[in-house]
Structure 1
């Protein structure tokens, strides 16, 4: 199973962390992909393969720390 989370401009990082149950910027990424205008972050959370896919748009209003984290992680 997978849980999909789409970040919207204006979403507070603290709120996103609470929804996910972990701190997005502190947990290691399993896979990150860059697409035109957005990032796709994949986290495998358990040995049975359960995970979360987080879509992060690169738009005004999206937490700058999150976008920077994505840019640094893709390199």
Structure 2
């Protein structure tokens, strides 16, 4: 909590946004909500499937029924946390499985 004390004048929405995908949601719907492609590296433009592709997220964690993916988007630390159920868009799940720690 001490680490967060410098942010007491901020609303939670100014620090982080949360996106919870539902079963059957697509990567296209996720990307529309985010405003960027999770399947493309934000720095070099490589797309998932390209030989040089590396995902742009900061952290990915595997849970029993979902993935938790964190993007830090600003120098001020603003970020987005995405909860992705394991039974959603197959291409997205394939990418998350490939790059998630075991």
TM-score over 0.5 (shorter chain): yes
Q: 4+ residue stretches of structure 1 with deviation over 3 A?
A: none
2: CA distance between counterparts of 1:15 and 1:38? Answer: 17
If asked which structure has higher relative contact order (CA below 8 Å, sep 6+), I would say 1
Residue 11 of structure 2 aligns with which residue?
none
| Unaligned runs of at least 5 residues, structure 1 | none
Name the count of aligned residue pairs. 73
Equivalent in 13, 37, 42 of residue 27 of structure 2: 13
CA-CA distance at 1:12 after TM superposition: 2.3
1:57 maps to what in 2? 85
The structure with the greater share of residues assigned to strand is: 1
Tell me, in whole angstroms, the C-alpha distance in 1 between the residues paired with 2:26 and 2:91. 11
TM-score, normalising length: structure 1: 0.89
Tell whether 2:78 aligns with 1:66: no
Query: Which whole-Å CA distance do the structure 1 matches of 2:85 and 2:100 have between them?
Result: 15
TM-score by length of 2: 0.67
- For structure 2, the residue ranges without an aligned partner over 5 or more in a row are 1-14, 42-55
RMSD: 1.1
Instruction: Kindly name which structure, 1 or 2, has the bigger radius of gyration based on alpha carbons.
Output: 2
